[in-house]
Amino acid sequence: MVFMKGAWTFSLFFGVCAWALAPTAWAQEAVSDLTRCEKSFGKEAVSNTIETCRLELTGPVTQPRRIKILETLGKAYLAQNEADLAISTWSEASQYSKLSREDQSAAESWTRLQVLIGQTYAQVNQTERAESHFKKTLNTVEQVVGRYSLPAGMVQDALGSYYALQNKPAEAEAAFKRSRIVYEIRLGKTHARTLETRMNHAIGLLDMQKEQEAIESFRVLAEIINPLAQYKKEPIRAEILTFLGTLQMRSEKLAEAAKNYQTAFEVRQAAFGPNDIRTSQSLNNLGVVLYRAGDLKRAETALSRAYIIRADALGSQDPLTLSTQKNLQAVIAAQNAAKKVPAENEKRN
């Protein structure tokens, strides 16, 4: 589950691969099934999302929808760097879920909330508490619903990412292996969640400075997912291609990187809409690689769109907005410099 990553990043300025607190491989719900809170997250300013979520909780809502609202509210709090509020919100949400062998959906919901809590402890550098929380969650899940249950796979996946960030290769590899086994047994080798844990493993390789192994893993994943019709507009495809594109840009394979970033943008635009924060990430990435390749006009177009989306949703002083602004300023400066050269040559002649 990639909801947050203190993971490897690369950018012209602040970070091409900025990770938003948003689902990736999880199947996207129909818009009509989303709460107002969920619809707001990533499309409006975070403060507006928080207000929307709070208001929705005051009305009559079913228990499953209450859990979804609280989960999203916690993510919004974390986006404002309010980790304690996020954790307490997810703890409240978990009280409405139950860990039961008879109710798989509720068991996964409860486990997902515990994973978010553990990830947040890790993000605020409470590493011992994070590891303890993950291990306690895993022990509880294995006792109640089974060692090879999907909730157990979820926790193993999160543990793999945690150990990778702590640079504990043996522990990370063991956790990712167990997670992949669970998903392949339960769901099949090409299911989105199986592919996601393989993607998280590849990200973990980057966290552990094993870049060549990571490149090969992302390349294999792209070869698997690109031909599959069911993933044509699925966010996990965009995530895989984004990481692969960034690695290609590091290796100066700019044409290949631009192609993958372009596809990732098209996928996210179809999945989330043209004005979503996640769509803006792909536009920012595309603008950076086009700038590097010297295609300044297209770079300006992509970065201008990314800047508008981020400024509207996050505000002009948000780090993501500022990073895109600096990228755009670099493109405009390069355009102005290119214009000066012919003028100076003409003046000499």
pLDDT digits 0-9 by tens, 64-78:
999 999 999 999 999
**5 has pLDDT over 70:** no
- What pLDDT is recorded for position 349? 56
* Residues with Cβ within 8 Å of residue 9, at least 6 apart in sequence: 15, 16, 17, 18
Closest CA to 195 of 210, 184, 206: 184
pLDDT in tens, 206-234: 999 999 999 999 999 999 999 999 999 99
- What pLDDT is recorded for position 32? 57
Residue 98's pLDDT band (cuts 50, 70, 90)? confident
Angle, in degrees to the nearest 10, between helices 235-250 and 192-207? 30
Of residues 81 and 340, more confidently modeled: 81
Residue 341's pLDDT band (cuts 50, 70, 90)? low
The DSSP annotation for 76-96 comes to: HHHHTT-HHHHHHHHHHHHTT
CA 253 to the chain's CA centroid:
24
Provide the residue type at 257 as one letter. Answer: A
Average pLDDT, the chain: 90
**86 has pLDDT over 90:** yes
Residue 345's pLDDT band (cuts 50, 70, 90)? low
Per-residue CA distances from 222 to 81, 116, 122, 217 (Å): 33, 27, 29, 9
Where on the phi/psi map is residue 253: left (φ > 0), alpha (ψ -120 to 50), or beta?
beta
Residue 273's pLDDT band (cuts 50, 70, 90)? very high
Q: What is the average per-residue pLDDT within 296-323? A: 95
Give the gyration radius of the chain's Cα atoms.
21
Q: What is the average per-residue pLDDT within 178-192? A: 97
pLDDT in tens, 6-53: 443 333 333 343 333 334 444 444 555 899 999 999 888 899 999 999
Determine contact, residues 177/218, Cβ cutoff 8 Å. no
**Helix residue ranges, H only, the chain:** 36-40, 46-58, 63-79, 83-94, 104-123, 127-144, 150-165, 169-186, 192-207, 211-225, 235-250, 254-272, 277-293, 296-314, 319-348
- What pLDDT is recorded for position 324? 97
